[in-house]
Amino acid sequence: MKIHHHGAKAGVTGSCHQLDTEWGSLLVDCGLFQGKEERPLEVEFPVEDISALILTHAHIDHIGRLPWLLAAGFNAPIYCTEATAALLPLMLDDGLRLQLGLDARQRSRVLELISRLTVAVDYGIWTQLGAPGNGCLQIRFQPAGHILGSAYIEVKTPNDEVVVFSGDLGPTNTPLLPDPESPERADVLILESTYGDKNHCSVESRAEQLKALVERSLEDGGAILIPAFSVGRTQELLFDLENIAANAFNETERRAWSRLPVILDSPLALEVTKQYRDFKALWGKEAKVRLAHGRHPLAFEQCVTIEKHRDHLALINRLKQSGEPALVVAASGMCNGGRILNYLSALLPDPRTDVILAGFQAHGTLGRELQQGKTEVEIEQEVVPVNAHIHTLSGYSAHAGKDDLLAFAQNISPHPQEIRLVHGEHRAQLSLARDLKSLLPKTLITLASES
Ligand SMILES: [Zn+2]
């Protein structure tokens, strides 16, 4: 058996891995390259022999090149979980509109074709790829705790070898989704390593940090801008904000919080949040407890949604003129596009503005430049001075931290024969490889960044 990496070899975008076996060839994910890793969208590898595409989750860096895969002639089943199948058209529609400028009719044609090929399957059930009894590959989706519908994929060959593709793994102890559990078996594990060299701060401390920032903003005014992927972090943030408001210390605090508008400036995030509400069965324990107490963790009163572009521009103007406190969540998560750019160019010069970077910022993105403390940045060919306060809240990452990744690998018994690290910068892969080698001395650890 052979595994090729068409993307996410030495970076975190463009995930696409191919497993070739004598029983067939599978593609796992087909994502977009972003930031410094950006490259032409055309699929440069042959697709005729690929018998299925398996999607780990609906983030654009895992599904974004799907239309180009079809354009290259791919015409085989696309397997994913039910929730990923529900998110797929929402996420792709946005990309087709923004990147290709397709009109509504053209977009719906592409999406129809994808939906015809899509086979949604439940978590935890082995699915045969091909006719039974013919010695075919089997796959199984297991919860990855990263975003709604996310899964790691187990692939079993007829001679009983198991290859596991981790996809993106979520951190442990987050309230909205259950923690990922290690697979029963993996002879070969393809493991993400986004935070292979770092741990995150805890969920309690992330909420405390968020609360302190909001309180300061309520006193001094100024907007709090949170660039976020429309799926994953946005819902985690809404979830925490509802909890902070619900647990207000006293009446004054409660009143102050009720005056703070929480603005979700993204039609896509609104749609995705609806899907999170529809798939409550996939929520974690704590989220289900809140529901049982009659609370609405993802739909609370002061949450305002902006859909029309006109309203979006009007709001930015108002915040710029008035300096009133407001918390705005807008895409994209790495500030390399989307509505967050207009907020940043209007509000970065204002020292009352706070920007909270809650997720991984890839090389070459505006988010990374802000994180590095640049005093001026370029946004759409204009130089913008940065007087705003830039904060990194690592606890909102949708990715497993270093210790979570180590535990995921270590709890597989017997230990894998090989672990191949993907989806991480070279430094993160090296650091995780070192730790894995000392924990699992008999396992061969290889780095996609060195392949
Ligand atoms: Zn992801």
pLDDT tens-place string over residues 350-376: 999 999 998 889 888 999 999 999 999
CA of 333 to the centre of ligand 1 (A): 11
CA of 159 to the centre of ligand 1 (A): 31
Token pair, residue 420, equals 């191949």
Containing structural domain, residue 314: 203-396
- Shared domain for 316 and 420, answered yes or no, is no
What DSSP assignment string belongs to 96-114? HHHHH---HHHHHHHHHHH
The Cα 26–Cα 123 span in angstroms is 19
CA of 175 to the centre of ligand 1 (A): 18
Q: Residue 81: which pLDDT band, with cuts at 50, 70 and 90?
A: very high
Residue 42 has pLDDT above 90, yes or no: no
Instruction: Please give the model's pTM, rounded to 2 decimal places.
Output: 0.89
Q: What is the mean pLDDT of the chain?
A: 92
Q: Provide the 3-class DSSP secondary structure of residue 390.
A: strand
Domain boundary among 354, 372, 396: 396
- Shared domain for 88 and 210, answered yes or no, is no
Domain boundary among 380, 396, 412: 396
CA of 59 to the centre of ligand 1 (A): 5
Task: With beta carbons less than 8 A apart as the criterion, state whether 186 and 416 touch.
Answer: yes
Q: Residue 147: which pLDDT band, with cuts at 50, 70 and 90?
A: very high
- Shared domain for 317 and 420, answered yes or no, is no
Q: Residue 253: which pLDDT band, with cuts at 50, 70 and 90?
A: confident
The Cα 424–Cα 447 span in angstroms is 10
- Shared domain for 167 and 42, answered yes or no, is yes
CA of 147 to the centre of ligand 1 (A): 7
Task: With beta carbons less than 8 A apart as the criterion, state whether 258 and 280 touch.
Answer: no
- Shared domain for 428 and 369, answered yes or no, is no
- Shared domain for 194 and 259, answered yes or no, is no
The pLDDT value given to residue 174: 85
CA of 166 to the centre of ligand 1 (A): 11
In the β-sheet with 118-121, what is the strand arrangement from edge to edge?
A: 2-7, 16-21, 24-28, 50-54, 78-81, 118-121
CA of 325 to the centre of ligand 1 (A): 31
Domain count, the chain: 2
CA of 256 to the centre of ligand 1 (A): 35
- Shared domain for 98 and 190, answered yes or no, is yes
- Shared domain for 19 and 143, answered yes or no, is yes
- Shared domain for 36 and 136, answered yes or no, is yes
pLDDT tens sequence across 405-415 = 999 999 999 99
Write the single-letter amino acid at 164: V
CA of 317 to the centre of ligand 1 (A): 33
Q: Residue 236: which pLDDT band, with cuts at 50, 70 and 90?
A: confident
- Shared domain for 136 and 221, answered yes or no, is no
- Shared domain for 115 and 222, answered yes or no, is no
Q: Residue 320: which pLDDT band, with cuts at 50, 70 and 90?
A: very high
| Cα 157–chain centre separation | 29
CA of 194 to the centre of ligand 1 (A): 10
| Cα 267–chain centre separation | 17
Backbone angles phi, psi at 36, to 5 degrees: -65, -25
CATH number where 92 lies: 3.60.15.10
- Shared domain for 57 and 126, answered yes or no, is yes
CATH number where 213 lies: 3.40.50.10890
Which residue's entry shows tokens 């006109």? 310
CA of 230 to the centre of ligand 1 (A): 11
CA of 97 to the centre of ligand 1 (A): 21
pLDDT tens sequence across 91-134 = 999 878 877 788 999 999 999 999 999 999 999 999 999 877 67
pLDDT tens sequence across 274-317 = 899 999 999 999 899 998 988 888 877 778 889 899 999 999 99
CA of 15 to the centre of ligand 1 (A): 9
CA of 146 to the centre of ligand 1 (A): 7
Cβ contacts of residue 97 below 8 Å, gap of 6+?
107
Task: With beta carbons less than 8 A apart as the criterion, state whether 180 and 169 touch.
Answer: yes
Q: Residue 439: which pLDDT band, with cuts at 50, 70 and 90?
A: very high
Task: With beta carbons less than 8 A apart as the criterion, state whether 26 and 129 touch.
Answer: yes
- Going by DSSP bridges, is the β-strand pair 2-7/16-21 parallel, antiparallel, or unpaired? antiparallel
